[in-house]
Each structure stands twice: as structure tokens, then as C-alpha cells.
Structure 1
Amino acid sequence: MDKQNHKQASMKNPIFLGLISLFIFFSCNQKSEIGSDISKDSEQIKAGKVLFENNCSTCHNFEQKGIGPNLSGLSHTVESSWIKDFIKNPAAVIETNDPRAVQLFEDYKIYMPAFPSLAEKDLDAILSYLHTYEHLPDSLPQIGLEDPIPDTVPDSGIRVELELFSQLPASDAEHPMAKMTKMDVAPGTDRVFINDQRVGLYELIGKKPNLYLPITDLKPELVSKPGWATGMASFTFHPEFTKNGLFYTAHTEPGGTQLSDYGYSDTIRVFMQWIVTEWKADDPKAAVFAGSNRELVRIDIPSQAHGMQELAFNPSAKSGDEDYGLLFIGFGDGGLTEKRAAYLSDNKGTKVYSSILRIDPKGNNSPNGKYGIPPTNPYATVAGKAGEVYAYGFRNPNRIFWDNKGNMFATDIGQHSVEELNKIEKGKFYGWPIREGRFIMNPFGKFREIFPLQEDDEKFGVTYPIIQLDHDELAAIFAGYIMPSGPLQGKFIFGDILSGRLFFADLDDLENSGVQTWGVIYEGKEISLLELCGGKRVDLKFGQDASGQVYIMSKTEGKIFKLSMN
């Protein structure tokens, strides 16, 4: 499909419109009237600032475009009622084909999350704060790459049948109905577990979910809200779970809940804390958890985004191997770059941020004495470095996995332009925040602009992704598995979290085979996952059971679909 046709097709699909409808041109004869209904009360402005920082600042600021548009001057150019309606339910406004939702559709390809829980007084306060930014900045020319990867991913023609397998109970009345992010198997068993970020850990017993770990009862400070990448985001079982009953979770609590193990200057707010907890089941065979828990580490971040999204043990490691029993933790920059603290994410292994960490849960030589620093970690004995760091330079390493040969990989969700799959090697630097994919990014400038690599690029020591796709193809990458059988046998499958678009690649022959798309058939009909899931976004995840069977999961209604492996 050529670029013009791609644009025309995109205009017909509202998922590509997202946040851009907030930022529009306006009629001069209306300008003097717009915003006259907004209060300038100082206390209301202060309240609005807090609400904005807690709910909006990860994606929006008043200096430049980022994940979402620059909001400077917005309330002086757009009617208050329209802004409120959009905050409460962006999808509903988009569906009316409002012209504001089409004018800049090329810039933003995701839906802004709805905030139906914000009361009218909250919306008024946010408007009061927005109204303190009176003028739109001068329009600057686009000097970066407008289309960094012009090639279009071809369709393979492969279609795989799906069937509904199970469904988690709704944990909210609004989409997403069940915030599941991971399916995992307890090693040495055929027990399958799935999390809901708001609720805890379910076990699928005879296709029916049974609440195994009610984490909100056991960790009452846990917080998970719509549009926030928070709650119990990940979990994993120790390779000897059947003997020792140990498993691990990552969850969020409000900033300042307890003293953190890792933080930063007090000039940067602490909005959330990520916590790794070790759980010890009294009876590993029990259907409901009973036992003890202890906190391993607590880390501050300044926003609700791209924090600790993955916990994993190397499933191919055997007793005596270097990785055996060591816990890998995918930890993003937590919004530090967006908060103008790129020096903390560009840390060269001196901080735990923007890194994949590797720790020994049974050790005690960490700074807080609650876990071990493996002696084989690259910076275990290097002064001034964080011994937990295994590899660094990631914005959001949201999925870590190993292929059948024991090679380690991680997907990394990009800022504004490029999504990545990286082959992970110990001690390597993967570019963030000075690179997005194989492109230069200035973390102290305009995030949305990227530039070609320069001739002297080698001096920066960046290890580049083995797969990179721009936002013409997908908005947020999520990895699946190497398919064990069926028409995609031997291929690595992955997809777009938001739209559910599906891709595959042969990781052993990328140079010749490249990346291709594939699709699904449900009840005899070829159908997109967006249509199948019935929402405005799929929130795609993959899962796999002990037999190798692969599943597709969607937060929209909490449904789990089984892929045909024939």
C-alpha cells in the first residue's frame, strides 16, 4: 500500500485518531469568547495542577508534542465543554467524526484513555490549570524524519483459527474489563496462571478462573487506575516452586508509601513506587495461596507509565547454569525522560532505571540486604555502577523471553516513532534515551523528532534492535512466542497492543524473510482482533501453557482465545 492510500485507509479507522483531536485550528472571531467560563481561582488552579500531574503529564506537557499533543493554549482555543467531553470519553467524541479528531490524525495513532471517574469539579480544576498556559507556541518546522521506515510490512496470507477458551471476571464496569497482562505456568506442573492488575492472580482450573492470590487484600496500598500501567503488572514462579513454594510479583503503590531503596533528587516528584514481592506458599499444591511474603526492593518513579512491566526466570536454564534461579526484571525509565530528567535514564549502568536487572532472590549482598547481586552480573564489582543491571538503555522493556536455543530477547515500547525487538546480551547498551530504534533522538529536545544515524555512530556503543517498525505499522509492541507447530511453526509471533495487529518473523533468518503480518479466523469468519474484542483497543497479550499451546488475550472484555496449532 503506498503512503497516500495508507493515509486514506487510516482516516476511515478511528483507532488512528487518538489524542490529536485536542489540538486544532480555530476561528479568530471565536477566540475572545473561548475560556471565559473558566475560573481563575488560585486554589482551584493548584488542585488542577495536582490532577494534571497525576493523570495527564505522562503524555502531555506545555512545551512540545510527545506521546500526546502540546496543550499550551488549549483552553483558549477549544470550548470547555468539548475538552471535558473528550477527557471523559475520547472514543465517543471520535465516533461522531468531529473535525478536530481528523485534522492531525497522522501524528497520534492511539486512543487516549477515558477518565469517567473524574468529577465535574475535577474537570473544572484541570481546565483552570490548563488556562494558565495562555498562548500556543510558534509553529516550528518539522526537521526530523516524517516517515522513518517507509517500507510497508507485507501480508503473508496466513490465517489461524481461534476459539474462545476462557474469560476472567470483570474487575471494572468500563473497558478494559479485566487488566490481564501475563499468562505463566508454574514450572514442573501444568497449572496455568493469569493476572488481573486490579485484583491479583488467577489459576485456570478446567478453563475457569480461580482467584489464587487476592493481592489487593494482602497489599491494600496497591493502586491501579484506567489508563495507568500500574497495579500487579507481572508475576513469575521460581523454577523450584513445587518444592519451595516461591513466586514473585511486581506491583505499584503511591509515592511515599514507604521509604524506597532507589530514588532520585527531591526536585523530581515521586508519583509511584514499584515493589517486587517474594511470596512463599505453605503448600505449593494448594488452590488458594496461604503463606508469607517479603519485600525485595522498592523503587521510586515520577509517573504512572513504563515502570516494572516484566518479571521472568530463564526457562531454559538448568541447575548449575549461570541463569538458574536468577530473577530478571524489566524496568523502564518510569517517565524520567518526559519529566526532563533524561540524565537518570541515560545512566550508563549507574542506576536501575531503563534497565533489565538480574538478581538472586536467595542472596543478601544487595544494598538493602534483601536479595543478592549475582557475581556474574556485568557490574557486580564495578564501583559507581548498579550491580543489579544486566543490560541497559530501554524505555519500556515490557516483555522478556528466550528462544529454543536459549537466546534472550526483549520488546521495547518506543516514544513516538519506533517499536523494537532486541536480542539481549550481558552488559550491552540499547540506546535509550539517545536512540529510538536505529535513529538519533535528542532527549533534551523535541521527543517526536528522530534523525538518521551519523558516520561516527560507533563511538556511542549502541546495540541496535534486530526488528524495528515505525508507528505506521504498530503503536506499542508486545512479544509472544516461537510457535511450536501449525502454519507459523518456528516463527516468532508478536503484535500491537492497541490495535491487535499481528506479525511474525523468523529470528534465524531475518535478513531474508523479514517481518510479515498474519490474521485470525473466528467461527468461520476472517476477522480483525479489534472487531472480535468489541472495544476501541484490543490490549493484546499472548500466553502459553505447559504443552506449548499458545493463546491470545484481550483486556477489553477479559477474554482468552486459543490458537489452532494444526
Structure 2
Amino acid sequence: MDKKIQIVAIVGAIIFSVLVLTSPSDPIPLPKPISNSQNDFVAILAEKLDKPRAIAVYENRIFVTEKDGLIRVVQDGNLLESPLAAFRPANVFDGGLLGIALHPNFPNNHFLYVFLTYEEDGELWNKIIRITESENKLQDAETILDKIPGSSFTNGGFIKFGPDEKLYVGTGTISDASHLPQDLNSLSGKILRLNDDGTIPDDNPFSDSPVYSLGHRNPQGMTWDDKGNLYVSEFGPEKNDEINMIKAGKNYGWPEQECSGNVNFEDAVLCYDPSIEPGGILFYTGDKLDFEFPFIMASMRSANLYQVDFEEGLSSQKSILSGIGRVRDVVEGDDGSLYVITSNTDGKGFPDRTDDKLLRILK
């Protein structure tokens, strides 16, 4: 086994890479996911998840959001029968119960945060809810930010706490024809930065505004490197998926720019044409797994988990895991393991009878 951890599928399925993608308008014939409880490198912790969207890990518990409104808990490797919470989100293709984040002081305050799409008077909106849990049950729920413009297809919805213990939120555009991502008075198409109670930090780049950066289309993942730089993955319309390094107060161009080319906007660090549909990303800080490159990226359209060096570019990109279909999110556990969810029941994949799955990469 190569020490650079080329894990070639759960049971030797075909590796799909950017180089073999068809044109963006053609569907990609993804390999059928193969069910297997465990091998030397990958363990399946949960099966039959329904449209999972995001995961968060604390010690022996993994919290999973399902698009249709449930927060599921996997504890000590077992999927609990009862959900932690059940919401009634809007029934739209790419909205619902989306991102999830744990408060930095979660062991003491038991706060979880989720991003939820809902409908009111015929309009779609998103909001951020702070949940207090106890023994995997909801004790309290409070909306801390509301009236984020919603969409059937581009809500963004990824949320994470940064090294500064502020809550960062990626919001999408309401449509590809909308110019709200360029409007500082709108919460659409932005990276937002909030205090843990939803109030606005005093040191945000725009006075009395939660907006941290603007000009985004559909953020799907975020991570910070060891220097404190924030990176965000984004879906393009049919091509030009982006990895952006986010700087406070900067404009990333949507819909005026895709990837690069306009001096008035920030250029993407990486641009994918054709699309790979990047999902969750992370900067790996553990020592359990030996990666050549530090950034780990989930990809739905190309059905892979990749390692990549954003500074080196696409030439550094290598597959870690494939053969499980669409890969939605990836997080690092306390012990340095990686946890991954598939996204084969989202309407774009080819689910088998055990999809979707939560997996742990062991070595």
C-alpha cells in the first residue's frame, strides 16, 4: 500500500478523475456504490441515510443533516433510531436542512447550528437556527439570523466556526439572473460572519453588516489552513466551479465574473471546467493519515474524494477514495480520521439499496 494513501474504492471500483469527465451537459456514468461494512481502509458507519447534506463530529458522535429535515446522530458507530430534531423545510430540489456546525464550546453549552430553507407566503427564505441539545435530544431552538433570500437550486447553506470562533455562513444566489450577490444590502450570494448569538462582530469589514465577502454563487464548503486563510468551494452554473481564498471585504464577481478575468474582482484559486461539483473541503491537520497534499475535497459530479494543494493547482490533485458515488461532505475527527457522506439519493446519483452512507477512513 502506497504510504500516500491511494485508497482505490471500497472494493476496487473504477477511479474517476477530472481528466475523464464528459462535457458539462452530459450526465456522468457514475460507478454503482458497493456495500461493505468494513475493510482495512474504510468503515461504513451508517447506511440508508436520506439525502444527507452535512456532518459535524464531536468525540464519539457524528451529527448528520438530512435535506428533508432530520438531524441524525451516529454514536459509537451506530445510527440512532430517533433523530435529534425534526424540521419542516421547504420541499425544493436543492434546499432544506443543509449545513450544520458545532459551537467551539459545544462540550459545555451543547449548541448546534443549522441552515434551513423554508417557504413563507409563496417566497423561499433561509435562516440559521441555534439548537441546544441534551443526550441527543432537542432542548431548545432559536433563530439567530433570518430572511436570507432562498432558491430552489442555489441556497449555499454551508456553515462553520472559524479559528476566531465566529460563525461563517455561505449563502447562494436566488437565480443566475440575479444581481443580489453584488448588493451589499442583500444577504444573497455572500460569505457572512456572525457572533455565536447571531449579532454582528465589531470588526466585520462593512459597518453594521454581517457580510464578510460578496459576489458568490453557491458556496458548498469552507476550511481554514494553518495560516488562518479561509477557502471556500463553490458550484459554477454548468462549468467554472471555483475554489476561492476569501479576504475580508473582497468581491468575487458573481454574476459579472466566473473564475477570473476582471480586474475589479478577486480571481479564483482553482477553476474547474468542466464541472466537478466540489462539496465539503478541509485542511487536514491530523497525523493519523499520511497525505501528500493538505487540502481534502469532496466531489459529487466526479464521484471522488481528492487530496489537492490549492497553491500547486490541478496538477496536484489525486484521488483518495472513489467507487462510492457522489461525495458530499468530509470532516476531520478528533483522532485524525476522516468522515465522509455520500450523496446518491439527492436526485443526481445512482443509489443502491443501502445509500446514502456515512464512512470513516481509517488509514
TM-score when normalising by structure 1: 0.53
Cα deviation, 1:229-274, whole Å, max 9, x if unaligned, reads 1221011111112222222111122232xxxxxxxxxxxxx54221
Question: Among residues 90, 99, 109, which one is paired with 2:26 in the alignment?
Answer: 109
Q: Confirm whether residue 243 of structure 1 aligns to residue 108 of structure 2.
A: yes
State the match for 1:352 in structure 2: 187
Question: Among residues 330, 336, 340, which one is paired with 1:542 in the alignment?
Answer: 330
TM-score when normalising by structure 2: 0.80
Tell me how far apart the structure 1 counterparts of residues 117 and 215 of structure 2 sit (CA, whole Å): 22
Cα deviation, 1:344-393, whole Å, max 9, x if unaligned, reads 2222x23211100011233xxxxxxxx31111001125xxxxx0101111
Distance 1:425 1:436, change over 3 A: same
Distance 1:548 1:255, change over 3 A: same
State the match for 1:476 in structure 2: 277
Distance 1:518 1:378, change over 3 A: same
Tell me if the contact between 1:482 and 1:490 (Cα under 8 Å) persists in the aligned partners: no
Q: Is the helix fraction higher in 1 or 2? A: 1
Question: Among residues 111, 119, 124, which one is paired with 1:254 in the alignment?
Answer: 119
Cα deviation, 1:497-532, whole Å, max 9, x if unaligned, reads 12313433224x426x84323254xxxxxxx42xx4
State the match for 2:205 in structure 1: 378
Tell me if the contact between 2:300 and 2:343 (Cα under 8 Å) persists in the aligned partners: no
Distance 1:161 1:543, change over 3 A: farther
- Map 1:403-422 to 2 at 5 A: 403-422=225-244
Cα deviation, 1:271-317, whole Å, max 9, x if unaligned, reads 42212111123x4xx1x214111112222546311214211111xx3
Q: Is the strand fraction higher in 1 or 2? A: 2
- State the identity as a percent: 18
Distance 1:551 1:361, change over 3 A: closer
Question: Among residues 461, 467, 489, which one is paired with 2:270 in the alignment?
Answer: 467
Distance 1:205 1:406, change over 3 A: same
Tell me if the contact between 1:164 and 1:562 (Cα under 8 Å) persists in the aligned partners: yes
Tell me how far apart the structure 2 counterparts of residues 215 and 223 of structure 1 sit (CA, whole Å): 16
State the match for 2:90 in structure 1: 223
Tell me if the contact between 1:310 and 1:399 (Cα under 8 Å) persists in the aligned partners: yes
**Structure 2 unaligned blocks of 5 or more:** 1-15, 29-38, 345-354
Structure index of larger Rg: 1
Runs in 1 of length 4+ with deviation above 6 angstroms? none
SS at match of 1:379: coil
Q: Which has the higher contact order (CA 8 A, sep 6+)?
A: 2
State the match for 1:437 in structure 2: 259
- Map 1:516-531 to 2 at 5 A: 516-520=317-321, 528-529=322-323
Which amino acid in the other structure matches residue 345 of structure 1?
P
Count of aligned pairs between the two proteins: 325
Question: Among residues 292, 310, 330, which one is paired with 2:140 in the alignment?
Answer: 292
Distance 1:107 1:463, change over 3 A: closer
Distance 1:196 1:392, change over 3 A: same
State the match for 2:52 in structure 1: 180
The CA deviation at 1:552 is 2.9
Which amino acid in the other structure matches residue 510 of structure 1?
E
Tell me if the contact between 1:271 and 1:304 (Cα under 8 Å) persists in the aligned partners: no
Tell me if the contact between 2:305 and 2:327 (Cα under 8 Å) persists in the aligned partners: no
Question: Among residues 66, 73, 83, which one is paired with 1:203 in the alignment?
Answer: 73
Distance 1:109 1:488, change over 3 A: farther
Tell me if the contact between 1:312 and 1:327 (Cα under 8 Å) persists in the aligned partners: yes
SS at match of 1:421: strand
